[in-house]
Chain A
Amino acid sequence: MTTDSGLVGRAGLQFYGKMCASISHDIKNVLAVINENAGLVEDLCFAAERGKPLDPLRLKRAAADVKAQIRRGDEIISGMNRFAHSVDSDSVQVNLLEIIDLLAAISVRFAAMRGLTLQIDRSESGATVTTSPFLLLNLLWLCLEQAMEASGPDRKVALAAERISGGVCLRFRGLEGLKAAPLGGLSAEPAASLCCALSAEVRADAQTGEILVQLAGGRG
C-alpha cells in the first residue's frame, strides 16, 4: 500500500475544518452566556435607576458565572491553540498521553452530541513516539468516530496509550458494538493512506471491544 499525499492533504483539511467549526460553536456558546450575564447586569441597573434596590448577591453570582465562562473559554481556546500547533512539524517526538488528551479536548462536543463521554486512562504517561502530530490526530479521530459508533450501553469510550514491544499502542476501549458492526471505515481511505504515512496499523478486536492503533519506534 502507498500513501496518497493528495488524499491525505484533503482529508487533513476536512478534519481541520470540522474541528475548527466545532470549536467556534463552543466559543459562541461561551459568548452567549457572557452576553446574557452582561444583559442581566444591565437589567438590574435599569431597575435600580427606577428605585428597585440592587441585590449584591445576584451581582456576585453574575460575576461568578462570567468568570466560569471565561475559564471554560480559556480551556477551549487552549485546546484550539495546541491543535493549531500540531501542524508545525511533520516529525517530532510526541507524548501519546498528551495526544489523546488533545484528541479528547477537540472531540468532546462530537461525543456529547452522541450522548457519550470520553475517558482517558492515565496509568501510563511516558510513552512517546516520533511522528507527525497532526496526521496522528487525524488518524485517531477517524478511529474515534468509529469507536463512538460502536460504544456500549454505558455510553463511554475509554482512550489509553501504552508501550508495546517495538513501538507504542493507542487503544479505544469499551466498544461492545464492535461485535455487531464491522469497521469498514478504517480499512478504506483516507485511513489507509494515513496509516501508510504514519507507518501505523489499525485493527479492531471484537472480542475485547477495542480498536488498536500501533505505531513502530516508540519510546518509554
Chain B
Amino acid sequence: MSEKVLIVDDDKAFLQILAERMQNRGMEVSTAESAAEALKLLETESYDAVLLDLMMPEMGGIEALQIMRKKQPEVQVIFVTGHPSVSKGVEAIKLGAMDFIPKPVDMAELTEKIHQAKASRMILVEKHSQEKIKKILTDKGW
C-alpha cells in the first residue's frame, strides 16, 4: 500500500513540485499552504507522514505540531526547513516530531524517512488499539 503524505509549506512553488515528485513515486499526497489548512485536513484524514515547514505565516510549525499531536497522537511529523537550528530541532523532537530534513531536500533521504514514519505510525496505531481494547475489557471486569 502506498504512503499517504500531507505536505505543509507556504511556498506554493515548493509545495507543488515536491508533491508531484512524491506522487511520481506512488505516494498519495495532499498539500496545505498554511498550518490552519493542514489542521482542517487532519480533522477528517490521517496520514502516514506530515511534512511540515517550520516557519510559516501566522502559525509556525512548532505550534502546529503541538495541535496535531493533540488531534492525532500517532501523527508522524517530519520538519522540512531551510535552517534547522539545533535548539529548534531539540524543541521539536521533545514535542514529538519524528525528524528534521533540511532544504534543499534529498529525495532518497526523505523517501526513507517517510517509510520509517509509516512503520512508526502503524506500531503506534496498533498499540493504541490494544490499549483501547484492554481498557474496554477492564471496564467490563473481564
A29 to B58, CA, bound (A): 18
Asked whether, in the complex, the Cβ of B14 is within 8 Å of the Cβ of A29, the reply is yes
A36 surroundings in chain B (CB, below 8 A): 14, 17-18, 21, 104-105
Q: Which one of A28, A47, A114 contacts B82 once the chains associate, using CB atoms below 8 Å?
A: A28
Question: How many Cβ-Cβ contacts under 8 Å join chain A to chain B?
Answer: 61
Q: Does chain B have a CB within 8 A of A31?
A: yes
**Which DSSP category, helix, strand, loop or mixed, fits chain B's interface?**
loop
Asked whether, in the complex, the Cβ of A113 is within 8 Å of the Cβ of B83, the reply is no
What size tier do the contact residues of chain B reach? 20 to 34
Beyond A24-B83, A43-B21, A69-B13, whether A35 also contacts B104 by CB under 8 A is yes
Q: Does chain B have a CB within 8 A of A25?
A: yes
Q: Which one of B24, B57, B83 contacts A28 once the chains associate, using CB atoms below 8 Å?
A: B83
A31 surroundings in chain B (CB, below 8 A): 103-104
Beyond A25-B82, A40-B21, A43-B21, whether A33 also contacts B57 by CB under 8 A is no
A112 surroundings in chain B (CB, below 8 A): 10, 57
0 or 1 for each of B11-40: is its CB under 8 Å from A? (1 = yes): 101100110110010000000000000000
Chain A contributes a number of interface residues (CB within 8 A of B) equal to: 23
Nearest chain-B residue to A43 (Cβ)?
B24
Asked whether, in the complex, the Cβ of A113 is within 8 Å of the Cβ of B57, the reply is yes
- Closest CB pairs A-B (n = 6): A28-B82, A35-B104, A32-B103, A36-B17, A32-B104, A25-B82
Residues of A near any B CB (own CB < 8 A): 21, 24-25, 28-29, 31-37, 39-40, 43, 47, 65, 68-69, 112-115
Instruction: Offer 15 A-B interface pairs, CB within 8 angstroms, sorted by A.
Output: A25-B82, A28-B82, A28-B83, A29-B82, A32-B11, A33-B13, A35-B105, A36-B105, A37-B17, A39-B21, A65-B13, A113-B55, A113-B56, A113-B57, A114-B57
